[in-house]
Amino acid sequence: MGEMITIPKAEFDRLVALAEDSLDEKAVADYLADPKPGVPAAFARRMLEGESLLKLWREHRGMNQSELARASGVNRVQIADIEKARKTGSVETLAKLATALDVAIDDLI
């Protein structure tokens, strides 16, 4: 069997806390080096309330419907219909919108 040492529990707890702090500091440093995009709390709240994901992402990207239509090649009226849940949009349409918004198609459905 390998070598063993005995330390007081308080010392063990202190060392565990230091190790956890070190991991937290590394996680923060990693994030700051390569931040992952996130969304504000208001976005998440509106999403949970059932608001159109297309509308949320469009607004989050600072675009109006006409700007998204130009960027995606999708008719503005079709965008409005999808946002109001009058239509769902084909996979092809959603893919164009997702590309223009720089999100995954899954983020829109």
17 and 32 part of one domain: yes
Look at residue 94 in the predicted model and tell me its pLDDT.
97
Question: Which region holds residue 34: left if phi is over 0, alpha if psi is between -120 and 50, else beta?
Answer: beta
68 and 27 part of one domain: no
- The mean-pLDDT minimum among 8-17, 29-38, 81-90 falls in 29-38
Rounded percentage of the chain residues whose pLDDT exceeds 70: 96
Residues 83, 68: contact at Cβ < 8 Å?
no
Which domain range does residue 24 map to?
8-37
Geometric angle at alpha carbon 16, from 13 and 19, rounded to 5°? 155
Instruction: Confirm whether 46 is domain-assigned.
Output: yes
Residues 54, 82: contact at Cβ < 8 Å?
yes
Tens digits of per-residue pLDDT, 36-87?
A: 667 888 999 999 999 999 999 999 999 999 999 999 999 999 999 999 999 9
93 and 64 part of one domain: yes
Instruction: Confirm whether 3 is domain-assigned.
Output: no
30 and 48 part of one domain: no
53 and 88 part of one domain: yes
Instruction: Confirm whether 2 is domain-assigned.
Output: no
Q: How far is CA 87 from the centre of its chain?
A: 25
Spatial CA neighbour of 58 closest among 79, 73, 89: 79
Q: How many domains does the chain have?
A: 2
Question: Which residue shows structure tokens 């469009």?
Answer: 58
Residues 60, 39: contact at Cβ < 8 Å?
yes
